[in-house]
């Protein structure tokens, strides 16, 4: 699952940086990828254990997975990331609600002043669990993959949608702000309007539209990411829905706008390598965000599955800040070179195809260069 970043209008949940990627859509604002928020997030995947075996899972999670990261190692990491300028954690998996240490980690993160979010399939949201998390959880992200029939098909479980919907009453009763994540494929744009209406009806304030990544279990099924034409059509639909539900629902569209990156190349890290004295002394969050702690202990930039050629640290290899200092010195220039190469590859397109899946391209190309 993708993390649900903290987004809304410029005056509510987040502010915007000069290197901002929002594109106006009539009277609403559609938050755009890839990067540039003042919210600098570390996504944490403590386990691949899950109560489902979803067809589109990027990490091949499932009930048979039992390995997990140690709480003490994750706590050491989150203490270190504060000193490197990160101010938010987003916990995913696997299914985070199968991880018994979740309440403790959220409590620790909250004590450090971090914004906290959890991404879930929604099936384990009982009142007891939610009451333990509510004081320490800033935002809950719930995956909804279309109409009930489509959702159940991708989740490989009959009745999954109905069970998730019943649990939403517990979320509302606990007073936890929540949003919906919709995985956009080449085939399901026609269901986005249904999901938006469902989100508003259930009281969600945020809807994230994230393109499918054809990795993990998704490679075993006839599931394909949206191409650039489908992304252009998707933006029009997202903009229409943002206008329709203005004041009720904020939409985030995780696609890169080539025009904006051309104007603000820092959005895609497509910048010349600065003087070493500048980047070696800078907090890591000013150089790269988001970071991802994978279930194998590697901390990588941008997205789950990013090549460990560009890894920043490993939980078993000592202090995160020490490893981050080494990464700045030894690997940051190579990361920028990768980013410039990717931007060179994707920058040219017909005018009617302004959007592209930068996250996916960066992750795929990260294995080829480093």
State the pLDDT at residue 231. 97
Residue 239: pLDDT band (50, 70, 90) is very high
What digits encode the pLDDT tens for the residues 290-318? 999 999 999 999 999 999 999 999 999 99
The residues near 86 (Cβ < 8 Å, ≥ 6 apart) are 40, 41, 42, 114, 284, 285, 289, 291
State the pLDDT at residue 370. 66
Answer whether residue 236 shows pLDDT above 80.
yes
- pLDDT > 70: percent of the chain: 90
Better-predicted residue by pLDDT, 5 or 252: 252
The C-alpha atoms of residue 101 and residue 197 are separated, in whole angstroms, by 34
What mean pLDDT, rounded, does the chain reach?
Answer: 88
Alpha helices (runs of H) in the chain, residue ranges in sequence order: 71-83, 102-111, 127-133, 148-155, 160-174, 192-202, 228-244, 258-263, 276-280, 320-330, 332-346, 358-365
Better-predicted residue by pLDDT, 11 or 268: 268
Q: Are 140 and 97 in contact (CB under 8 A)?
A: no
Kindly report the backbone phi and psi dihedral angles of residue 35, in degrees, each rounded to the nearest multiple of 5, phi listed first. -140, -175
The C-alpha atoms of residue 116 and residue 91 are separated, in whole angstroms, by 8
Answer whether residue 59 shows pLDDT above 90.
no
State the pLDDT at residue 51. 86
34-48, 64-78, 234-248, 266-280: which range is least confident on average?
34-48
Q: Are 116 and 110 in contact (CB under 8 A)?
A: yes
- Backbone Cα Rg of the chain: 19
Q: What is the mean pLDDT of residues 47-63?
A: 87
The C-alpha atoms of residue 338 and residue 366 are separated, in whole angstroms, by 7
The C-alpha atoms of residue 278 and residue 255 are separated, in whole angstroms, by 30
What digits encode the pLDDT tens for the residues 19-29? 433 333 333 44
Residue with tokens 């992200």: 141
Q: Are 297 and 315 in contact (CB under 8 A)?
A: yes
Residue 37: pLDDT band (50, 70, 90) is low
What digits encode the pLDDT tens for the residues 270-279? 999 999 999 9
The C-alpha atoms of residue 68 and residue 62 are separated, in whole angstroms, by 13
Q: What is the mean pLDDT of residues 224-237?
A: 96
Q: What is the mean pLDDT of residues 222-251?
A: 95
State the pLDDT at residue 34. 52
Answer whether residue 8 shows pLDDT above 90.
no
State the pLDDT at residue 369. 79
Residue with tokens 């590859």: 345
Predicted TM-score of the model (pTM): 0.89
Q: Give whichever of 15-24, 135-144, 212-221 has the largest mean pLDDT.
A: 135-144
What digits encode the pLDDT tens for the residues 10-19? 222 222 333 4
Please, what's the b/e burial string for 249-284 (b: 16 or more CB within 10 A of its CB; e: otherwise)? bbbbbbbbbbebbeebbebbbbeeeeeeeebeeeeb
- pLDDT > 90: percent of the chain: 80
Question: Which of these, 35, 39, 42, 33, lies nearest to 15 by C-alpha position?
Answer: 39
């Amino acid at each position: 699952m993708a993390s649900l970043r903290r987004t809304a209008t410029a005056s509510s949940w987040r502010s915007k940086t000069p290197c901002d990627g929002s594109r106006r859509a009539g009277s609403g604002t559609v938050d755009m990828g890839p990067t540039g928020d003042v919210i600098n997030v570390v996504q944490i995947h403590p386990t691949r254990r899950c109560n489902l075996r979803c067809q589109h899972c990027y990490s091949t999670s499932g009930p048979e997975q039992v390995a997990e990261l140690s709480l003490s190692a994750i706590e050491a990491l989150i203490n270190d990331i504060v000193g490197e300028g990160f101010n938010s954690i987003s916990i995913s998996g696997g299914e985070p609600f199968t991880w018994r240490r979740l309440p403790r980690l959220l409590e620790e993160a909250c004590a450090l002043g971090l914004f906290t979010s959890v991404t879930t399939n929604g099936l384990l949201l009982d009142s007891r669990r939610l009451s333990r998390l509510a004081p320490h959880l800033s935002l809950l992200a719930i995956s909804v993959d279309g109409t009930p029939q489509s959702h159940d098909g991708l989740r490989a479980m009959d009745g999954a949608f109905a069970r998730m919907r019943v649990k939403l009453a517990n979320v509302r009763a606990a007073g936890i702000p929540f949003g919906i994540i919709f995985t956009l494929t080449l085939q399901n744009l026609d269901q986005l309007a249904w999901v938006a209406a469902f989100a508003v009806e259930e009281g969600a304030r945020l809807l994230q539209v994230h393109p499918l990544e054809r990795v993990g279990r998704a490679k075993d099924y006839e599931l394909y990411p949206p191409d650039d034409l489908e992304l252009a059509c998707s933006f029009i639909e997202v903009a229409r829905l943002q206008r329709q539900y203005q004041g009720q629902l904020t939409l985030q569209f995780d696609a890169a706008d080539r025009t904006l990156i051309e104007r603000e190349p820092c959005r895609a890290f497509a910048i010349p390598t600065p003087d070493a004295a500048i980047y070696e002394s800078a907090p890591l969050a000013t150089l790269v965000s988001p970071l991802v702690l994978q279930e194998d202990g590697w901390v990588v930039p941008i997205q789950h599955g990013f090549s460990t050629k560009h890894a920043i640290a490993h939980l078993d290899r000592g202090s995160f800040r020490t490893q981050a200092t080494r990464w700045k010195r030894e690997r940051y220039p190579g990361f920028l070179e990768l980013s410039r190469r990717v931007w060179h590859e994707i920058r040219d397109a017909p005018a009617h195809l302004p959007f592209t899946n930068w996250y996916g391209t960066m992750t795929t190309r990260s294995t080829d260069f480093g």
